[in-house]
Amino acid sequence: MYSRLRRLPSFWIASVLLVLVLLLGILGSALAPHDPLAGGSALLQAPSATHLLGTDYLGRDVLSRLLAGSRVSILGAFEVAAIALVVGTIPGLLSVYLGRVFEWLTLRIMDTLIALPFLVFAVALTALLGNGLTQAMLSVGILLSPMFYRVSRAAALTVSSSQYVEAAVLSGGSTGWVLRRHIGPKVLAPIGIAFANAAGVGLVIVASLTFLGIGVQPPAPTWGGMLASDLGYLAYQPYAPAYPIVLIMLTVWAFNLLADVLRDTSGEAGRILLKKRALAKARRRGRRLQPQLAGRVE
């Protein structure tokens, strides 16, 4: 899989961006040049040598707050994707194997989850369970799980009716063994795509929730929260919302790009795509070489 991925430049772009974002998430607070919570009397200052991105409405360093806020935002995104993965994939795979009652039941549950608007549901759940990011992410993760349920179920359905799987079952392979040996590897690619997608969606949701002031304990900085407060001071710093917006956009874009790359390279279609690219490359190289060759001959 990796050998195929690394042949696409978009994979490298996505990975570099995501590694950078991940580093921000891990090291953000340590990299911050100032205390992200310490205010000063210099309010809403333009970028300067001491404050590279300026200061906010309480005189806090914006760069430090962006860096310190990345952990919550990125952690939240992964949390959503991971919860959705576990809650969606396991029943998705089992729905193919555990009989019609389980299948019918999980399908109806997933239909119900799809019908719920997740931002509203997350807001309601934080009101019920307390205003924490984990509570909000839990609810969003559960509501995002139908995506994994459907993807894994669809992949498992095609594989489970194939002859070699039927042969394995007839030879006495247990459900667990069949799932691990035959179904698992086949559904891995679509789930990987779904995961990258979910992480992107998750980041947007974390940003939206923190924008609304849900899931964070002030004055802890978050990207969405910074965006929300920046909007109140547009007359002073019209450019300020751009900082968190660019970070959010780049991260989500990288996740989506990764999802695209995974999709493009997986399965038979991926093999064809890579072969075509290789051929096109060879042809281009050949064309570029030809005039020189011709020159030499003459």
Partner 1 sequence: MTPPILDHVVGRRTLLTTGAASLALVLAGCSTTSTGTGASTAAGAATGTLSWASSYAPSSWDPVVNGSGAAFRITALAYASLTNTDEDGKAAPGLAESWTYNDAGTKVTFHLRPGLTFADGTALDSTAVKKYIERAQTQENSSLVGEGISVIESVETPSATDVRLNLSQPDFQLPLVLAQRVGQITNPSRSAAELNEKPDGAGPFTPVTIVAGSKATFVKNPDYWDADNIHIANVTVSFGADASSIVSGLQSGVYNFSDLTPSQVKAAKAANLDVVLQPGFNANNLSVNTTIAPFDKPEVLQALNYAIDREAIVKQIDFGYGTAATEPFPKGYIAYDPSSAARYAYDPTKARQLLADAGYADGLEVEFVVSADTPTNELIQAQLKKVGITAALKVDTNWATSFFAKKLALTTYGTTGRDSPIQTLQAHFGPAGALNSAGTEPGSAFDEAVATALATPLDSDDYEKNIQAATAAGLATTGLIFTDSLPNILVKTKAVSDLPRIPAYITWTGVTITGR
Q: Which residues bind partner 1 (CB under 8 A)?
A: 37-39, 41, 43, 57-59, 127, 131, 213, 217-219, 229, 231-236
The count of C-alpha atoms lying within 13 angstroms of the C-alpha of 215, restricted to the half-sphere facing its C-beta, is: 31
Closest residue by Cα to residue 195 from 78, 94, 107, 75: 78
d(CA 259, CA 192): 7
d(CA 194, CA 92): 13
CB of 142 to partner 1, least distance (A): 22
CB of 38 to partner 1, least distance (A): 8
Q: Three-state DSSP class for 216?
A: coil
CB nearer to partner 1: give 243 or 255.
243
CB of 57 to partner 1, least distance (A): 5
CB nearer to partner 1: give 13 or 58.
58
CB nearer to partner 1: give 59 or 267.
59
Angle at CA 165, nearest 5°, toward 159 and 171? 165
First to last CA, the chain: 46
CB nearer to partner 1: give 133 or 201.
133
The tokens for 172 are 């006495």
CB of 78 to partner 1, least distance (A): 25
CB of 132 to partner 1, least distance (A): 10
CB of 75 to partner 1, least distance (A): 20
CB nearer to partner 1: give 127 or 269.
127
CB nearer to partner 1: give 121 or 233.
233
CB of 147 to partner 1, least distance (A): 30
Tokens 């509570």, located at residue = 135
CB nearer to partner 1: give 135 or 160.
135
Closest residue by Cα to residue 142 from 196, 101, 102, 202: 202
Length of the chain: 298
How would you classify residue 213: left for phi > 0, otherwise alpha for psi between -120 and 50, otherwise beta?
left
- Buried residues in 237-262 as b, exposed as e (16+ CB within 10 A): beebbebbeebbeebbebbbbbbbbb
How would you classify residue 162: left for phi > 0, otherwise alpha for psi between -120 and 50, otherwise beta?
beta
